[in-house]
Amino acid sequence: MKNYPVNTSLKPEVKAFFEEDSNTISYVVKDPASKSCAVIDSVMDIDYAAGRITHDHADEIIAYIKAEGLELEWLIETHVHADHLSAAPYIQDKLGGKIGIGSKITVVQEVFGKVFNEGTEFQRDGSQFDRLFEDGDTYKIGTMDAFVMHTPGHTPACMVHVIGDAAFVGDTLFMPDGGSARADFPGGDAGELYDSIQKVLALPDETRLFMCHDYGPNGRDIQWETTVADEKAHNIHVGGGKTKEEFVKFRTERDAQLDMPRLIIPSLQVNMRAGDMPPADEDGRTFLKVPVNTL
Ligand SMILES: [Fe+2]
């Protein structure tokens, strides 16, 4: 495996914010040696049936950052989410910080720019984001060194962000009893997802892993934190030394039975724009499209 700059002696403070409607966990990651922090995978609330956007979940995060007197340096998206809308621009507007995502966002923009019949004013170069990360890139949160691992498979732009002994795995892995995320979206690939998961499992055993989602399988309470050692031993899809062939067969068969996520249509249109809505019309009204028989 590539030589990533692992440093598990650094232990960032992690505060989780669970969003019930999409089963997403957003995080505030704080530097123990300064007031600097980052927000990972924020959520904007949407009542899709009513076409109504609100910001209760983001406001809760903003209130926490203000109450703790923190300085927000980064708004990280682990990938282009298909099940919730990002609140990154809303939070950036209030608290500052740079919005970052994997550089393969351009591939996602190319695919879904076509799906949603976006005009030429929709740039497919990732320029809506402040930083496009490549595999192995590093960045700072206060005094902390963070690095990214490119982990395609669920989507082409997926990145795992590793900050000291904490790794934010996005949708590469779920909790051990949840397994893994689907790999059947455009640009997804079950074999690539297996290889990406191996990158995560190659981190030191004690690495804390923070999930982007949890659905409380078999009626258990919602959980979002585990370790590399726990996933290696117990993950129901890849743990216990499951082979790539076994995983690809299982994942492909499972994905064929899954419905589209409830919020995929609004989510992609917003998230491929870094969390911004499509441009308003001449009367200042904002619209989202529904492509018929396309997805
Ligand atoms: Fe996802």
CATH 1.10.3720.10 assigned to domain 13-271? The reply is no
Q: Is the pLDDT of residue 111 over 90?
A: yes
Report the separation in Å between the CA atom of 69 and the middle of ligand 1, taken as the mean of its atom positions. Answer: 31
227, 207 Cβ separation under 8 angstroms: yes
Predicted TM-score of the model (pTM): 0.97
User: What pLDDT is attached to residue 2?
Assistant: 77
Say how many Å lie between the CA of residue 33 and the centre of ligand 1.
32
- CA 115 to ligand 1 centroid distance, Å: 18
CA of 284 to the centre of ligand 1 (A): 31
Question: Residue 1: is its pLDDT beyond 80?
Answer: no
Q: Phi and psi dihedrals of 167, rounded to 5?
A: -120, 130
pLDDT at residue 241 is higher than 90 = no
Cα of 283 from ligand 1 centre, angstroms: 34
119-127: average pLDDT? 94
Which residues face 239 on adjacent strands? none
Q: What is the mean pLDDT of residues 255-262?
A: 95
Ligand 1 centroid–CA 83 distance in Å is 7
Ordered by start, the domain boundaries in the chain are 13-271
Alpha helices in the chain (DSSP H): 56-67, 88-95, 105-115, 190-201, 228-234, 244-255, 264-271
Average pLDDT over residues 268-286: 96
**Chain segment 33-43, per-residue pLDDT in tens:** 999 999 999 99
